[in-house]
Amino acid sequence: LMDEIGRGTSTFDGLALAWAIARHLLSHNRSHTLFATHYFELTQLPQEFAQAANVHLSAVEHGDGIVFLHAVQEGPASQSYGLQVAQLAGVPQPVIRAARKRLAWLEQHSADTGATPQLDLFALPSDPSDDDAAEAAAPAAPSALAEA
């Protein structure tokens, strides 16, 4: 079980570290691994590794809250429930309201200004010194990438 690898670092550092570890597990260790992460970019790994799969835990929104169904579903999660989870954790309502306003502003500001979204790690050209691709072609045990 690999849980939240790269958390607590900068976005790019954490994403790069989580991606490299997941890729190493898939191409070298070939072990059954549950890799829980919030880095949505990692959901692209099954395109490169046939033995990888994306799964998520289902949840249903109920009013301003969320109900976790504790059922594993195929595919990546379709949305984030960060504010609902913060509310469940007891974050004060004024903070939740302020976070909702800020989230709406950030989403609108990004759309209005045409701001460049965070660079997609997988859009970068391949590193020629990365010889994992040849080893990754060999059959391996299934692994699951779970988005938390």
| Residue spans of beta strands (DSSP E) within 47-109 | 52-62, 65-74
- Environment class of residue 108 by beta-carbon count within 10 Å: exposed (0-12), middle (13-18) or buried (19+)? exposed
Q: What are 82's two structure tokens? A: 């960060």
Residue 119 reports pLDDT greater than 60:
no
Nearest to 41 by CA among 70, 64, 12: 12
What are the boundaries of each domain within the chain?
A: 2-80+119-147
Whether residue 26 has pLDDT greater than 70:
yes
Supply the pTM of this predicted model: 0.61
pLDDT digits (tens, 9 = 90+) for 28-69: 987 888 988 888 899 999 999 999 999 998 888 877 778 888
CATH superfamily of 2-80+119-147: P-loop containing nucleotide triphosphate hydrolases (3.40.50.300)
Distances (CA, A) of 135 to 27, 34, 47, 139: 6, 21, 16, 9
